[in-house]
Amino acid sequence: MDVTNFFFGKDHPLEDLGGGIKRRMAAHNDNVMCVEVHFEKGAVAALHSHPHEQISYVLSGAFEFEIGGEKMVVKAGDTTYKQPNIEHGATCLEEGVLLDFFTPHREDFIK
């Protein structure tokens, strides 16, 4: 298997997902993936679930996350954990950026 050790932001432009959300692919391999997600104030990541484990690190802004029916506000420096198949989503309260980590990687994110 070929392994890439360096991923440069200039090589991965922000992808507009609509609704005030943009995503930039970062480092990944078969076992793990890092994704930078930019939110405008009021943007909503609809409730969803997937078979991947996910950690979200809040780089900036404020978000109301709903995870498994529990709602909590998180801000810069906070993290969330989503176990496989748990329903989760978020509303951006203050414009911000999340760093999402997935294991295994999200094949649906790779083009």
Q: Report the sign of the C-alpha dihedral through residues 77, 16, 87, 44, in that order.
A: positive
Q: Report the sign of the C-alpha dihedral through residues 11, 62, 31, 106, in that order.
A: negative
Look over the chain and give the mean of its residue pLDDT values, rounded to a whole number. 95
Residue 5 has pLDDT above 70, yes or no: yes
- pLDDT score, position 3: 86
How many angstroms separate the CA atoms of 77 and 30, rounded? 27
CATH 3.40.50.2300, domain 16-109, yes or no = no
Q: Widest CA span of the chain, in angstroms?
A: 42
Residue 40 has pLDDT above 60, yes or no: yes
- pLDDT score, position 1: 53
Report which of 32, 31, 39, 33 is spatially closest to residue 62, judged by C-alpha positions.
Answer: 39
